[in-house]
Structure 1
Amino acid sequence: MKIGVSGASGKLGSATIAALQGLASGHGIVGVSRTPEALPSTVEARFGDYDQPDSLASAYAGLDRLLIIPTTDMRPGQRTIQHLAAVDAAVAAGVGHVSLMSSAGTRRAEEPDIWGCYFPAEQRLMRTAGAWSILRMNFYAEAFVQEVRSALDRGAIAGIGDGRVGYVSRDDLARAAAGLLTGDGHDGAIYTGTGPESLSGTERAAIAGAVAGRPLRYVELTEEAFRSTMAQAGLPPPIVAVVVSIRTRFAMGGFDIVTGDIERLSGRRPRSLRDVLSDAFSETDKNSE
């Protein structure tokens, strides 16, 4: 069986390739990327660019199973175009089972809403693929680590409301994706990969402060105030729009989701946000010695 990962040279793609190499004994692993030269020599590397749909047709040819990982492209409307192109190419190439990495809480929305680019792709996949699965991911714990590091000097993390989030680590998500790609009985399934608990802004700031050994509080802002803060920090308008959409979805409870799907697919319990933070700051301490 040939198993493909599209978006293979990104952080999640690389982690999924590594997880597959530990599981997919006897199967061929194909990495599809705009930069195939960056992939390990132990996988079959193919060029495929979401912005060049013709390249995807040959990249997906002969695959029995495929995982489509979205890009981080912030150009307005571009991710929807990319997702649809990838799904259409996989169906046209006759991929036996197509899996899509999507977002927790996905529903119909207009871009730049974070869900705006995922809903059309999910719908296209369900309507056109012969066999399909969807793995919706909660928000990356590693993204919160970066947020904490940038906030420590200020002593505060800002957000819209005090929305709870079930942060999931990238490696846990990658292992779940590998389990999905190598397992059976997933046709038509929609999974949501989350961490073991959902934490409010106040709770996660307290945990981060304790782990970092620095005082850190959580400040609730209105959407308008949060948008202004992002703009004043010099972020480009498209990025501000996406970040604001994410935080408004936090506030409405769109990421207040905890499931057992990570363990169900990977056979391992997901790490807590505290564990991810502890590992990150322990590594920082080692590097500073």
Structure 2
Amino acid sequence: MTILVLGATGNTGAEVVKQLQAKGASFLAMVRNLQSASRLGLAPAQIRVGDFYDVASLVQAMQGVSSVYLAMAAHPDNRQWVSNVLEAMKRSGASHLVKLSGMGAAETAGSEIIRTHAQTDRLVLSSGLTYTLLQPNSFYQNLFASVESIKATGQFFLPLREARQSVVDIRDVAAVAVAALTEPGHDNKTYQLSGPEALTFSEQAAILSELAGKSIRYVAVSRSVAEQAMLAAGMDTWLAERLAEILDWFAEGHYDEVTDDVETVLGRPARTFRAFAEEMVSLVK
């Protein structure tokens, strides 16, 4: 059984590659060009070049593949990309798709990114292929984007008000993906993946402060301020607007549900935020 990782250089994809490698699984990674594959540390024979816009290239990348992991960056063409992946799987004979979605995927959500997760999940469900849908909350590792701010000012800035969120470690999400790709028992399942508790970002800041031995403060900012900061950092307009929108949706308090799906799949509890913070504090002291 050979696995193909799509989105292999992204946050979850790179971690899935790392864990498949550690497990000794037979897998390939698809990239848009060979230069982008260099940081994966894979043998040339493990690399396939393809493009989500090009079904023929996807079919070629899937030759000899039985299972596919799919994660993709938020983009206006996500629905077309997922449709192309499903078409390529049918043409190539790949039969099992493990797709990264998002917690609370619903077409009534107040976020285009979340609505798109729901729409693309529906494409998978109607495809006739065997699937595993992973619907995680946001990741602990998103805080890495605030490392420089914390080091310089002792503060990090997000438009999340005082909403509680059951954020999860990206390594746990990847571990569930690897289990679904390499072990039986996950066909046609949907997993809602959370951490073991729902914390506000002020509570996260308090834990970081304790562990770092210095004051670290979360500062709630408005959606518009967050969007302008992302634009100033060079992000394109569509993505800055959609990310500000999803953060504002999180701020309404829809994402505090704690599930046990990580523990059910992995046979161990999900990592706590404190355990993650113990690793992160060396970066912000």
Shorter-chain TM-score above 0.5: yes
How do residues 21-40 of structure 1 correspond to structure 2 at under 5 angstroms?
21-23=21-23, 28-36=26-34, 37-38=37-38, 39=40, 40=42
Does 1:16 find its partner at 2:16? yes
Residue aligning to 1:46: 48
How do residues 186-225 of structure 1 correspond to structure 2 at under 5 angstroms?
186-224=186-224
Whether the 8 Å contact between 1:159 and 1:201 is mirrored in structure 2 is no
Whether the 8 Å contact between 1:112 and 1:241 is mirrored in structure 2 is no
Q: CA 1:243–1:130 in structure 2 vs 1: closer, same or farther (change >3 Å)?
A: closer
Does 1:80 find its partner at 2:65? no
Q: Secondary structure at the match of 2:9?
A: coil
Q: Which moved more, 1:123-132 or 1:44-53?
A: 44-53
- Quote how far apart the aligned CAs of 1:12 are: 2.1
Whether the 8 Å contact between 1:163 and 1:200 is mirrored in structure 2 is yes
Counterpart-to-counterpart distance in 2, 1:86 and 1:270: 30
Residue aligning to 1:55: 57
Residue aligning to 1:146: 145
- Quote how far apart the aligned CAs of 1:123 are: 0.5
Deviations 1:142-194 (A, max 9, x none): 11232254245444434243121222222222111111111212222100222
What residue identity is the alignment partner of 1:240? A
Counterpart-to-counterpart distance in 2, 1:2 and 1:139: 29
Q: Secondary structure at the match of 1:258?
A: coil
What residue identity is the alignment partner of 1:47? V
Q: Which consecutive residues of structure 1, in runs of 5 or more, have no partner in the other structure? A: none
Counterpart-to-counterpart distance in 1, 2:58 and 2:254: 32
Q: CA 1:174–1:230 in structure 2 vs 1: closer, same or farther (change >3 Å)?
A: closer
Whether the 8 Å contact between 1:148 and 1:208 is mirrored in structure 2 is no
Counterpart-to-counterpart distance in 2, 1:236 and 1:282: 31
Counterpart-to-counterpart distance in 2, 1:88 and 1:248: 34
- Quote how far apart the aligned CAs of 1:122 are: 0.4
Does 1:101 find its partner at 2:100? yes
Q: Secondary structure at the match of 2:126?
A: helix
Q: CA 1:182–1:116 in structure 2 vs 1: closer, same or farther (change >3 Å)?
A: same
- Quote how far apart the aligned CAs of 1:57 are: 1.2
Give the alignment's Cα RMSD to 1 decimal. Answer: 2.8
TM-score by length of 1: 0.84
- Quote how far apart the aligned CAs of 1:268 are: 3.6
Counterpart-to-counterpart distance in 2, 1:207 and 1:253: 21
Q: Secondary structure at the match of 1:103?
A: coil
Q: Secondary structure at the match of 1:118?
A: helix
Residue aligning to 2:270: 270
- Quote how far apart the aligned CAs of 1:29 are: 1.4
- Quote how far apart the aligned CAs of 1:199 are: 0.7
Counterpart-to-counterpart distance in 1, 2:280 and 2:195: 16
What residue identity is the alignment partner of 1:211? L
Q: CA 1:254–1:198 in structure 2 vs 1: closer, same or farther (change >3 Å)?
A: same
Q: Percent identity?
A: 25
Q: Which consecutive residues of structure 2, in runs of 5 or more, have no partner in the other structure? A: none
Counterpart-to-counterpart distance in 2, 1:245 and 1:53: 31
- Quote how far apart the aligned CAs of 1:11 are: 3.5
- Quote how far apart the aligned CAs of 1:238 are: 2.2
Whether the 8 Å contact between 1:163 and 1:251 is mirrored in structure 2 is yes
Q: CA 1:216–1:65 in structure 2 vs 1: closer, same or farther (change >3 Å)?
A: same
TM-score by length of 2: 0.85
